[in-house]
Copies of this chain bind each other. A is one copy, B any other.
Amino acid sequence: MSDDCETPLSDVQAEACPIVQIIDRVAGKWSVSILVAAIREPVRYTELERSIPGISRRMLTLTLRNLERDGLLTRTVYPTVPPKVEYRATESARELYGHLTGLLAWAERHQPDIIEARRAYDQALAA
């Protein structure tokens, strides 16, 4: 999935490629949910599992690892009994979050247009 942005590209596609990479980073079903949950305050594993409906243990762990690997989350283990692990958003993640809320604003402004566009498109097909 990771286009290298290496093999010779037209100027316009050279612009598209890094954008695709970021999108990929926050794509997948769960990345944003976890990121948003960890933005304001550190969260624990089980806390995430409970607050994100439908996520499986497997995907929770996998997505956490990826976010950590990209430097968007830090993972802190408290060697207590029972163990306690906290995930918190990094500064980098908080800046990214700012851009995501920008996208959110766009979505809210255009939601009616999108609904209508889909309705029109689907109706045109049925005809």
Binding site for B on A (CB under 8 A): 1, 3, 7, 9-10, 12-13, 15-24, 26-27, 29, 32-33, 35-37, 40, 51-54, 68-71, 92, 95-96, 99-104, 106-110, 113-114, 116-118, 121-122
Q: How many copies does the complex hold?
A: 2
A49 CB to closest chain B CB (Å) equals 12
A68 touches B121 (CB 8 A): yes
B92 touches A113 (CB 8 A): yes
* Known contacts A7-B53, A70-B117; A13/B27 CB under 8 A: no
Query: Closest 4 A-B residue pairs measured CB to CB?
Result: A71-B117, A16-B36, A27-B27, A69-B121
A95 touches B102 (CB 8 A): no
